[in-house]
Amino acid sequence: MMGIEICGKIDKVNGKGLSYKEFVERYMEKNKPVVLTGLMDDWKACSDWVDENGQPNLSFFSTHFGKSRVQSPSFAISDSYHKKQNCSTKEFTDQKRVEMSVSEFIDQWCKEPIQEHGLSSNNGLTDKSVLYLKDWHFVKEYLNYTAYSTPHFVCDDWLNLYLDSYRMHRDPDSYQEKDEISCSDYRFVYMGAKGSWTPLHADVFRSYSWSANVCGKKQWFLLPPSQSHLVFDRNMKACIYNIFDDISEYLFPGFKKATWLECIQEQNEIIFVPSGWYHQVHNLDDTVSINHNWFNSYNLCWVLDLMLRDYNEAKEYIEDIRDICDDFEGLCQRNLAANTGMNFYDFFIFLARFSLANSVVLDTLARDAENIAGIGSISPIIQQLVQNLSSIQKIALKMKFLECFSGDQGFMLDLVETHKNPKFSKLCYSLIRTCESIHNRQVLSFCSKTVATQDSRTSIVIQNFCDAVSSPQDLVKYIDTVLTEHTSIESSE
Ligand SMILES: O=C(O)CCC(=O)C(=O)O
C-alpha cells in the first residue's frame, strides 16, 4: 500500500466458538481489535437490505425508509487514493455534510455509478462526487422494525443504555427540537457506494465501536493508541485527514514511522474497534453497515482522559479572557460540551445515575439471591455490578480534584427523586437485560416488581446514605456505602 507501512493483520474469530469471558480477556480488556464472524445469521437486515444479487436493496430503503432525513457527506472520489492535494490537515473538520432524504440519497446513488476505485479515464483525477450516508439513527427512528440484535459480546453498552432514558447534554440556549434525534443515541446505519470513505479519526468520547457489514466490503487501516502522536503535526494540534495524501515530512515528522494494521472486512463480519485507535475506512464495494459507539467499565478511563485533554485545550484557548469573564469555568464547560459532546457535569450526572441503577439492581438481586437460586448461580451478574460500581468509583476519585467541582456548583442529583422517575426504572430494566444477555441468565422476572414499584427495600442503600449526591466525593462515598452494604449481605448469608 503506497505511503504507509502495514505491520500486521487483525485476528478473525468465529464468534460462535468464543465465550464472553474470552472476548473480554483477549480483546476488550487488552484494547485490541478483532473481526468476529458468525454473529449475524438471524438479522432481518441481512435479508431485507440485500437484493438477490448481493447488492444493497436500494428500492427497499426508498420504499420503507425513504422519508428519513439524513446527513450525507459528499466529496470527490479521487480524494480517497489518487489525487495529490494539499488538504491533508483538516483539523476539527469532517467531510462536508448535506442534509437530504433517504430517497434523494438513493436517487443520487443510482444516477452516478462509480468507476473502479477512483481510477477514471483521466488518471484518477476525476471530480465525480460520491455520497456517503453516515450516522443515520436508524434504531431510534424505527423502533418497531428490529433490523438486528446487538451481539452479546458488545452489549455492555452504558452509553446507549443511558441515552435510551436520558440526554447526555442539553444546552438551554442552543437547544433545538431537531437535536432530539441527532443527539439521541450512538447507533447508526452507514450506506455508501464503492469508493466512499471515512477520513482518519479516533472515535467520539474515545469509545469502543463495532461495525457490521450487512452488505459489501470495507478496508480498514488502524493505528494503535501508542502511535497516535505520529499522525499529528509537529505542534501536536492537527491530525492527518487522509493517510494516502502526499504528507509533508516537515509538517508531520512522525508519520513515516507509523505502523498500521490492515483488515478487509467482508459481508456479515463485525469489526471491534477498541478505544483510541485512529482509523481510516474505505468501502471497496457498495456497502451498508451498522455501527455503534459504546463504553463500559473497561474503557471508562479513556473517556475521562479525553475529557481532561479537551478541557485543558478549551481552557487554554480562552485563557486570555479569564479576567474579564464573569463565569470563566462555566464558559469552559460550555465549550467542552460543544466540542466533545458532554462536559464534566454531564459526565458526572451520568456516572451518578448509572451508579444508582447498578446499586438498586445489586441490592435487589443480592437480597433475592435465595429465591433466584433455582435458575443457577447469579454470582457472575453480581460480580459485574460490583465491577461496574468499582470502575465508576475510580473515575469519581480522579474527578474529585477538578476545578469545576471545587465550589458550590448549584446542582445535585436527588437520589430519592431520581429513583422515583419512570426513566430511571427503564434504565434499571435495560441494565438487567444487558446482564442477562451477557451472562445468559434470566433474572428480570425476579427484580421487575421491586424495580418498578420502587420497593422500599431497594432504597435501603439510599436511605443509609444521604438524599443527594452533588460532587464526585459524594459519589465515592455513596459507592463505598453500597459496596459495604453488599459485603455485609453476602457475609450474613
Ligand atoms: O464505516 C465507516 O466508513 C467508518 C466507521 C468508523 O469509523 C467506525 O466504526 O468507527
Residue located nearest, by CA, to atom 1 of ligand 1: 281
pLDDT tens column, 435-449: 999 998 887 777 766
User: Are 168 and 260 contained in the same domain?
Assistant: yes
Q: What element of type H or E holds 198?
A: strand 197-201
Do both 309 and 259 map to the same domain? Answer: no
CATH number at residue 125: 2.60.120.650
Mean pLDDT value across residues 416-434: 91
* Residue-level pLDDT at 371: 65
Share of the chain above pLDDT 90, in %: 67
Centre of ligand 1 from the C-alpha of residue 279, in Å: 8
Q: pLDDT class for 12, splitting at 50, 70, 90?
A: very high
Residue 2: what pLDDT? Answer: 56
Considering 294, 327, 360, which residue would you say is the last residue of a domain? 294
Tens digit of pLDDT for each residue in 18-53?
999 999 999 999 999 999 999 999 999 999 999 999
378 neighbors 440 (Cβ within 8 angstroms)? no
481 against 389, higher pLDDT: 389
In this prediction, residue 130 carries a pLDDT of: 83
The last residue of one of the domains, among 245, 261, 294, is: 294
User: 271, 294, 317 — which closes off a domain?
Assistant: 294
Q: How close is the Cα of 126 to the center of ligand 1, in Å?
A: 24
Residue to mutate (ligand 1; options 190, 204, 286; most atoms within 8 A of CB): 190
Nearest-angstrom CA–CA distance, 313 and 315: 5
Looking at residue 423, its pLDDT comes to 94
Report pLDDT digits (tens) over 180-202. 555 689 999 999 999 999 999 99
Predicted confidence (pLDDT) at residue 337 exceeds the cutoff of 60: yes
Ligand 1 atom index nearest CA of 192: 3
pLDDT band of residue 151 (cuts 50, 70, 90) is very high
Whether 211 lines ligand 1, by a CB cut-off of 6 Å, is: yes
**pLDDT confidence bin for 75, thresholds 50/70/90:** low
Contact at 8 Å (CB) between 285 and 33? no
210 lines ligand 1 (CB under 6 A): no
The closest-lying atom of ligand 1 relative to the alpha carbon of residue 211 is: 9
Those residues whose C-beta lies under 8 Å from the C-beta of residue 326, and which sit 6 or more positions away, are none
What is the pTM (predicted TM-score) of this model?
A: 0.90
CB 156 within 8 A of CB 296: yes
Strands 287-294 and 187-192, bridge-based pairing:
antiparallel
Per-residue pLDDT band at 91 (split at 50, 70, 90): very low
**Same-domain status, 219 and 93:** yes
Do 123 and 12 belong to one domain?
A: yes
Do 224 and 75 share a structural domain? yes
Q: Is the CB of 342 within 6 Å of ligand 1?
A: no
One domain for residues 151 and 266: yes
209 lines ligand 1 (CB under 6 A): yes
Same domain as 92, residue 128: yes
pLDDT tens-digit readout, 48-69:
999 999 999 999 999 999 999 9
Task: Examine the domain organization and report whether 12 and 159 are in the same domain.
Answer: yes
Q: Do 427 and 287 belong to one domain?
A: no
DSSP track, 111-161: H-PPPGGG--TTTT----EEEEEEEE-HHHH-TT-------GGG---HHHH
Q: Does the pLDDT of residue 293 top 50, yes or no?
A: yes
Q: pLDDT tens-digit profile of 229-253?
A: 999 999 999 999 999 999 999 999 9
* CA 262 centroid distance within chain: 22
Whether residues 335 and 366 share a domain: the answer is yes
Q: Which element (helix H / strand E) includes 6?
A: strand 5-9
Count of domains for the chain? 2
Q: Is the pLDDT of residue 341 over 50?
A: yes
Query: Which range of residues forms the domain containing residue 143?
Result: 5-294
Q: Are 22 and 126 in a shared domain?
A: yes
Ligand 1 pocket member 346 (CB < 6 A)? no
Q: Are 11 and 34 in contact (CB under 8 A)?
A: yes
Please write the tens of the pLDDT for every residue from 93-137.
456 778 999 999 999 999 865 544 433 333 333 445 688 999 999
Same domain, 284 and 308: no
Q: What cell was used for 296?
A: 463500559
